[in-house]
Amino acid sequence: MSTSRSSSYLALLALAVAAFGIGTTEFVIMGLLPEVAGDLGVTPQAAGRLVSGYALGVAGGAPVLAILTARWPRRRSLLSLIALFIVGNALCALAPGYGALMGARVVTAFCHAAFFGIGAVVAADLVEPRKRAFAVGLMFTGLTVANVLGVPLGTALGQWTGWRSTFWAVTVIGGMALLALQVWLPRHLPRPVPGNLWREFRSLVAPQVQLALLISTLASVGMFTVFTYIAYILREVTGFSASQESMVLLLFGAGITVGGLAGGKLADWKLMPGMAGLFAAVALIMVAFAYTSHYMVPTLVTLFVWGAVSFAVVPAAQVRVLDQAREASNIASTLNQGAFNLGNATGAWLGGLVIGAGLPLTNLPWVGASVAFVGFAVVLAAMMLERGTATPIACDTV
C-alpha cells in the first residue's frame, strides 16, 4: 500500500503498543501465581490452569473470530478486538473468585489470536515485501517489551499492592493502545480479498500449512513447560526472593526483545534453516538450565539466552504460515496465534503433570528440551517435503 515511511512506522508503533498490553496480561500471571494462589486459596497446579485457560481461550477463539472477522475491514477488526481486551482485563480485576477470574481470562483471551493474526497481516502490508518479517518482528516487539517491562513491573506492582492492581494497570494500557490505533492506524487499509471460503479452508489443510502450525505449537509447548512455573523455580531452586524475581524476569524479557528483532532479520535471510538452528539451540539451553538453575549468576545468563533464542522463532513461524497460506492470510495468521497458545496451554499442562507427580522442578527443563528436539525434527521434515515437491517442477521445465 502507498504509505509514507514515517506513517508506516507510527502504525507499527500503534500495533506494538497493543501487543505490549496483550503480552503483559498473558505473561504477568506467571510471576504472580503464588500471590493469586494464596489469595484465592487454590493449589499451584490450579493457579497454573489460569495460564492454560487463557491459552485455550486463544486457541478456541481463533477459528471463531477468524471466521467472524474474515470479511471485516482490518481497521475495524483491530479496534473492536482491543475494546474486547479492555473489557476482559477489567473483569479480571473485579473477579470475586477463582471461577470468575478463569472466565474473565478466557474473555480476554478471545481477542488475542485475532488481533495478532490480523495485525501481522497489516504489519506485513505496511512495508515493502523484502522487509515483511522485520515489520512483523517490530509489531511483536510490543510483546517482547511486555516481557522486559510489563511483566516485571506488573509482578512488582501485584506483589506490592495486590494482584488485582496489575489487571487495572493493564486495562489502562489497553485504553492507551485503543487511542494509538485510532490515531495512527491508516484509515484505508487493504481489505481482505473476497474469495471462496471453502477454498480458503482447503488451503489451510495443506501439509505445509499444517506443519507450519505444528512448528508454532511446539515452540510454545517447549517454552511454557518451564516458563509457566518459573516463579517457583527461581524461588525454590535458585534461591531468589520474591522481590528479586521481577528483576530476573526483566533480564529474561531483555533477551526476548533481542530475540524478536533478530528473529525477524533471520527469517528474512534464511527462514527454515534458521528455525531449525533455533530449535536445536533451545534444546541445548534447556538441558543447561536443568543444572544452572541451582546457581544465581548462571541462571541469569541462561535465562537471557533462552529468552533470545526461544522468541526468535515467533516472527519466523508467523511469516512461514503467511507464505504457505496466501489464499487465506487473515484466517491462517489468526489460527497461528491459536497454535502458539495451544502450545502455551499444553506446556502449562505438561509442567503441571511433572509437579503433580512430585518430581523435582529441575525436571521441567528436560521436558522442554525434549519438545524442542521434536520441533527441530518437524522443521527438517517440512524442509524435506518442500524439496520433494519442488523437484518434479524443476524436472518438468527442462
Number of domains in the chain: 1
Q: Which three cell numbers stand for residue 12?
A: 507499527
Residue type at 46? A
The domain in which residue 171 lies consists of: 5-396
Per-residue tens of pLDDT for the chain, all 398 residues: 445 666 777 888 899 999 999 989 988 887 888 889 999 998 888 888 888 888 788 877 777 777 777 678 888 889 999 999 999 999 999 999 999 999 999 888 888 878 887 888 888 778 777 777 778 777 877 877 786 788 888 988 998 999 999 999 999 999 999 999 998 888 777 666 555 556 666 667 778 888 988 998 999 899 989 988 888 899 999 999 877 887 887 888 788 878 877 877 777 778 888 889 999 999 999 999 999 999 999 999 999 999 899 888 887 887 788 777 766 666 777 778 778 878 878 898 899 899 888 899 999 999 999 999 999 999 999 999 888 765 444 444 43
Q: How many CA atoms lie within 13 A of 83 on its CB side?
A: 7
- Cβ-based neighbour number of residue 194 at 10 Å: 8
SS3 of 32, please? coil
Say if CB 59 and CB 182 are below 8 A apart. Answer: no
* Cα separations in angstroms, 92 against 29, 56, 87, 206, 371: 11, 17, 9, 38, 32
3-class secondary structure for 235-262? HHHHCCCHHHHHHHHHHHHHHHHHHHHH
Say if CB 185 and CB 309 are below 8 A apart. Answer: no
Say if CB 110 and CB 88 are below 8 A apart. Answer: yes
Nearest to 132 by CA among 268, 270, 255: 268
Any idea what DSSP says for residue 191? Answer: P
CA 210, distance to chain mean position in Å, is 18
Distant-in-sequence, close-in-space partners of 293: CB < 8 Å, separation ≥ 6:
233, 237, 238, 299, 302, 361, 362, 365
Residue with cell 533481542: 258
CA 163, distance to chain mean position in Å, is 22
Crossing angle for the helix pair 197-204 and 329-356, to the nearest 10 degrees: 40
Q: Which three cell numbers stand for residue 4?
A: 509514507
Helix ranges (DSSP H) in 293-356: 296-311, 313-324, 329-356
Distant-in-sequence, close-in-space partners of 273: CB < 8 Å, separation ≥ 6:
383
What CATH number corresponds to the domain at position 263?
Answer: 1.20.1250.20
CA-CA-CA-CA torsion sign (92, 93, 94, 98): positive
Crossing angle for the helix pair 329-356 and 44-68, to the nearest 10 degrees: 170
pTM above the 0.75 mark?
Answer: no
> What does the alpha-carbon distance between residue 344 and residue 172 come to, in Å, rounded to a whole number?
25
Burial 47-70 (b: 16+ CB within 10 A, else e): bbbbbbbbbbbbbbbbbebbeebb
